[in-house]
Every structure is written in C-alpha cells, then in structure tokens.
A and B are shown apart, each in its own frame.
Chain A
C-alpha cells in the first residue's frame, strides 16, 4: 500500500514538473506612451498625423535660445535674467573672450534643433515604411519633413559656424562625419532641394493637417514656397546670389508692400503657441511689470534709429515704471546699465511667431541684387522696406559696400530678435567687430560657440 502511494506521488511530481515550468512573460512595450516601433513599422495615417504635429512642436523649440543667446552675441538684446548668474557674463563675454565646451545654456540652438531633425527623420522613415499611403501622399510627408529638417539644421550650423556640424545623423550609434561650414550649407541646400522634389510629386493636397501656423502654406504648392524661402536664406549665407534670387522667384516673396499694407511684411509660416499644456510664446513678457528676469532691447537700437521709423514703436516698449538692472551689467564708469525697453511685438503669450517672413525675403532679394551688380533693383527693394516703415527713399551711395551697410541697417531693425540675425549677418559680411557691435557692457564678441563634449567624446572614441 505504502509503495503504491509513493509511486503515485512520484508520477504526480513528474507530471507537475513537466507541465509547470515557469510563468509566461507577456512582452510589454512602454505602458505609458505609444512606442516608436509602431510608427516606424507600417504606420497608419493617424499615427503619421501625430508625428507631423510632433514635428511642428519640435520645430519651435529652438526659438527662445536663438533670440536670446544669438541676440546677446550680436547685442540685439541684453539678457537681464537674474535666474542664473551666468547669463550676463557668459553670454556677453564679460571677463572672457571665448566660449567653452558645453557653453552655458546653448543647447537650445544645438541639441534642440537636432531633436527636431530626429523627429523629421523618423517621419520620413515612417512614411517610407507605411503601406497606407499612395506615392503622392508619401511624397507630401517627406517633402514637409525635409523642409523642416533643412530649416532646423541651420541653427546648430549658425551656432558652430567654422566648427561645422554633422548632417547625417539618423543612426545614433553611427553618426556621419562633421562637415565644414560651406559643405554643411551645401548639404542643407541639397536636403531642401530634395524636399522640393518630393513636394513636386505630392499632388495638389497633403493627406495630413498642419496647424494654423502654416495657414496659406498647407498644400504642396504652399509648402514649396516655404521651402524656397528657406533655400533663399541658405543661398544668401553661402554667397550664392543667383541661387538666392532663383529661390525667391518661386517663394512667397511679395515686393508690393507699402505703409498701408505693412501687414504683408509679416506673411510667412509661423510657430503657434497656446495655453498649457501647449507652450507659451517664449518671447512674451507682460508689459512693465516688476521683474528681474526679462529680455531687454539693447539701447543702441533706440539711439541709432532714424527719426520716424515705425519699427521702433512697433517693437520696443519703454518700461516707464520698472526699468531693470543687474549688478553684472555695468558700464566702464562702473554705473549700472539700465534696461529700459522691452519687446513690444506680442500682445499675448499665445501670439504666433513667424519663422521666415516676407520682409526677410525682400531684404535677401535686395542683398543678392546688390551683390550681383544690380544696384537699382537693390535700392528699389530697400525702399519698399523703408517706405513701409515711414522712412524716405534711400539716398546714399550705390556702391556694393554702401548698399550692404544699408541693408544690414535695415535688417537690424526689420529682423530684430527673430533668431539672432544681427550676429549672423555681421559675421558673414566680415563686420563682426566693435564698429558694428556696441560693447558698452565691456563684454566681448564671440564668433562661434565651442563644440559640445558629447561630440568631442564621440569623435575621440
């Protein structure tokens, strides 16, 4: 009897061991978020739509740093940011003449745009791998993504300048080589041209929706005009005047503007903002409120302005009750420099911010013409800008150098605090010196920002 029970126990034991080996693990992906794999692998149109909105979101993240830091480099603005004691000395070069590796709060024009580039690359790859799209629809996604990618790559390149940047960055563990400044501009130009080709194949409408920021540009034809506007900026930076003029011809440039129709100067695609959980317009500060952290217009802009220039009143508002000071910002006599004028362009903290505008295109046109030996056309375009803002026609010399000086003067006011144009413009025209940059703050002028340690480490292995 006993032996029989033992035998049964034994059989039962073996059976149990054989059947129950271990619990099954159910494969999980991120329980809190959608996974990247699901969009890369045969995405639906709805999934691609979220990537498109995501790209629009990433597309605006560089703005604050470009306006603030590049703006400080070119003395368009003074960063009265008491939130950290490094903003003023480090950004204005007070007590130092060069930047350093991982320069203080400079990731916004380096890391951030590359995160947008990553988003664009993922959108391109997802569109390529999706079977839900027709050929024309696929080309629409890719054309949009490449246009934004080209625009975003300009920011790290503007920051790094002669250091050059990486263009091919789709594989995180195998990034492409660093290209020099001219090579990088050429590569960005190619990406934009590639995007244009896609947009040409994209039919008459997109199969995705864009925010109001792209109002008027949310078709393949409209996006081509944006693409060419960006290409015109790139061509101008590369010194390719004919390329700039060719691109402008098929962009949304409109020379038919006067004082009565000055709104036409603002035509262009924009970054949109909203209340939380959307982002606020990062350039908006409530008017004349007491604060120790605010972006201030450099006083030289007020002092150098021509009488009657409507841009001054449009853009700068005097803080009557609450001018700001910061102990780090003093003149040669040791007196505190007072920040009196703040940005007057935004009525609310949800105002959209155009990222490339007709006014810039007109000034690119003027410059490309001036450099191509066509001063009459250049002066005509300069006068469009001058007349729109209540200034008389240009009466100065028509030599190329004089015209460039005049165009730089107009750009200084027309494109103030729109992403550091002043610093970039003076640098590319060999004028980045104390004749053009007001150094009453006893700071220095940086030409470019040091390479980041992650890039150096990667290259050194």
Chain B
C-alpha cells in the first residue's frame, strides 16, 4: 500500500513445506512486513537543505531447513563373508524437529542533503535465529552419535551506516565517495545441548566455543582454568568477529575521460587462530623471530614457542587480525572519439584486487583460512593460500 508516496506499507506471509523437514507435508508460515514514511513528502516539511528524509522499519522471518540426511534413520550396507549386511546408522532423528527461523527487525533512516550531494543511510537491526538446528550428542552408549535438534537461539545486533558524498561536481572533476561502517555482535542466548567446541585442531591449537552467553565465534584454548563457567574449562582468547569494519570507496572522473577508483577496507578487532606463526616460530622463519620486544634476551619467536609448548598457552597464537587493505584500485581512460570507421568507442585501463595490505598480523593474510569461508569455523590459519592478488589490463572496443 502506498499513500501518496508518504506512507508505504507492505505485508506478506509465506508458507513453505519441504521434504527436508521431518513433517514433510506440513506448512510452516513465515510472515513479513515493512513500513516506511517519506517525511519530505509531507506538507509540514520545509526547507531545501534536507531534500529527502525517510524513516523505515521492517520485520521478516525466514526458515532454515534441516540438512539432507538429518531426518533419515537408515541402514547402511556392509559386506561380510560375501554377504550383504544392513547396519543401523549412528544418526537418530528428533521427531519434533522443526525448521529454524530467522527473524529480523530493522529500523533505519535515509536522508539526502544538498540536492543529493550527501546522502546518509543508517540501519539498526536485531536478527534472532530461533530453534537453531545443531547436533545433540546422546550418550555414546546408546549407539546413536548425533541427533539434529532445535537446540539453540542466537541473537545478532548490528549497526550499518553508509554516507555517500559528491563533494566536487564540476565539468572537469567529479568526485564521488562512499564511506561505510558496520558492526555486528552475536551471542548464543539459549543452548539446550551441552556446550561444545568446534573447528580447528583441538583446544591446544585453538578452537571455537559454542556455549550459552558467548559469541558463537569465541576462540578458546589452553590452559585449563578451574573456575571458568561456560567455557569447557578453557581460556577465552578472543572472538573472530571484529569490533567494526569500514570501507572507503572513491571514484574520480577527471576531464570526463579519465576514471580513477579505489576501495579501502579496514577491520578493527577480531582474532584469528594463527598456526602459520606456530610453524614459522618452530622453523625460526617468522618475520619478527629475531627481534626481542620484551628485552628479556630471548627472541620473540622462541618466547612465543616456549609459551605455547612449555606453559601450554594457546593465546600466543590467537592473534589480532586488524588490517587495512587496498582491496580494489582501477584507472581507466575512455577515448573521446571513435577510432577509424569501425570502432565507435574505445576504453583502456588497468585495475587490481588485494594490492596492498597493512597489518601487524604475522600470517600471510588475516582473512585467509584453511577451511574456507565458514559461518563459525573460519580464520584458522595453517599457511593457507592468501587472498589472491590480481592485476587486470582492460581493453574495451565497441563496434
């Protein structure tokens, strides 16, 4: 519904059923609704300074289905003495398993100033994942090792800000700039199964903790602390999730034909499990191995290695992953006229990805992980390939 472009309301509901569910023929409902008010279209709005001002709120739910195979109790085959046997699988099924639901409530405002030269978008969101499907491990003596069950609730809260600027808009120079800032905080608000660790190579080499009241990307390790409720008795060394991230995009058009763009990306906070540094410290090849920051006569590399091996302190290899990256840069020239009779338009240029990195992190790349991009168990660094650095030369001809 749209009332004179002043108030815009929409609502809907979606019904899903899937063979991935335990109740395959049952519909699960997922409602959604949104409300927006364009204050600048109301009569009371005056002045030209702020030419757009929109308030918006939205709510929506989506469903997450159980994984394939989680709703079957099967007999697997095993040959014995030339005969085919059927063996009871080790996965059980929870008859009450329902799809997990993600509900998101967000509030935001969009504002445009100085005739669109400055625009600001701000959003605050609360995203809850209810009935998160996790594997419950029954007592192993039951012969069943895992049952997928609605075991947890997860809450995410975050802010996203975007500021777009067009400070110079002349014939010979057009400068467009976009600055974004965002953060996210998550916490497990309910966990019905025993807390557990996941990812990596066990606590002595750093692993992720899934426990009520903790972020799902909490990194824990040795040593064991007796009084450490909720952490399976281990020490908490950090969180993979950064405090905030920023990006800074700029596009300059000079003399109409020359385009220069670049994108900087900054991450503040966030930790990574840096086992590359462990390997390099052991081999004596870490960048700062020979330095002696604490001036105790023992080189840095050996300090770390001994802290890990002798004192059982995993924390030395859970390292801050702050970085600033020049993620994209490009320079293009468009010829003002066609060339000859056949070519109407010609453009040449050069661009690059991941070209520069500023960080104190001791691995190749604070973003890279041996296990790829994963929701929880990323940032485990055992000399993986860093993000690829690519250089492109462009030639574009229109006939």
Contact = CB atoms under 8 A, between A and B. Distances in A.
A454 B138 contact: yes
Interface stretch (B18-26, B345-353, B377-385): B18-26
A172 B144 contact: yes
Interface in B48-87: 69, 72-87
Contact of A35 (B18, B74, B141): B74
A37 B22 CA distance: 14
A108 interface: no
A452 B147 CA distance: 18
Contacts of A459: 139
B92 interface: yes
A111 B69 CA distance: 21
Contacts of B31: none
A408 to B, nearest CB: 31
Interface in A44-83: 47, 50-58, 60
A441 to B, nearest CB: 23
Given A39-B86, A53-B83, A54-B86, A115 B19 contact: no
B331 interface: no
B88 interface: yes
Nearest to B86: A50
Contacts, number: 155
A156 B140 CA distance: 11
Contact of A171 (B76, B78, B142): B142
A30 B138 contact: no
A51 B77 CA distance: 10
A53 B86 contact: yes
Nearest to B69: A30
B201 interface: no
A25 B140 contact: no
A36 B144 CA distance: 13
B213 interface: no
A17 interface: no
Nearest to A459: B139
A50 B85 contact: yes
B143 A173 contact: no
Contact of A117 (B72, B76, B143): B143
Interface stretch (A185-193, A252-260, A272-280, A300-308): A272-280
Contacts of A278: 79-82
Given A56-B85, A211-B81, A274-B80, A29 B72 contact: yes
B165 interface: no
B19 A30 contact: no
Interface residues of A, number: 61
Interface in B1-54: 15, 17-19, 24-25
B143 A169 contact: yes
A28 B24 CA distance: 8
Nearest to A26: B19
Contacts of A141: none
A57 B145 contact: no
A25 B24 contact: yes
Nearest to B194: A457
B137 interface: yes
Given A25-B18, A25-B25, A53-B86, A169 B77 contact: no
Contacts of A171: 142
Contacts of A165: 141
A58 B87 contact: yes
B198 interface: no
B77 A114 contact: no
Given A27-B24, A33-B75, A274-B80, A111 B87 contact: no
A98 interface: no
Contacts of A166: 139, 141-142
Contacts of A116: 143
A212 interface: yes
B89 interface: yes
B144 A118 contact: yes
Interface string A4-33: 000000000000000000100111111011
B90 interface: yes
A114 B143 contact: yes
A187 B215 CA distance: 45
Contacts of B75: 33-36, 39, 50-51, 54
Counting chain B CB atoms within 10 Å of each CB, the highest count among A121, A172, A175 belongs to A172
A454 B74 contact: no
A56 B72 CA distance: 23
A114 B92 CA distance: 14
Contacts of B89: 33, 36
Given A26-B19, A172-B139, 4 more contacts: A25-B17, A27-B19, A50-B77, A277-B78
Closest 6 CB pairs of A and B: A118-B143, A53-B85, A211-B81, A50-B86, A54-B85, A30-B72
Interface of B: 15, 17-19, 24-25, 69, 72-90, 92, 137-145, 147, 194
22 contacts: A27-B19, A30-B69, A30-B74, A33-B77, A34-B74, A36-B73, A39-B86, A51-B85, A53-B81, A57-B80, A57-B85, A111-B140, A114-B143, A115-B88, A118-B142, A165-B141, A169-B143, A172-B139, A172-B144, A272-B80, A279-B80, A458-B138
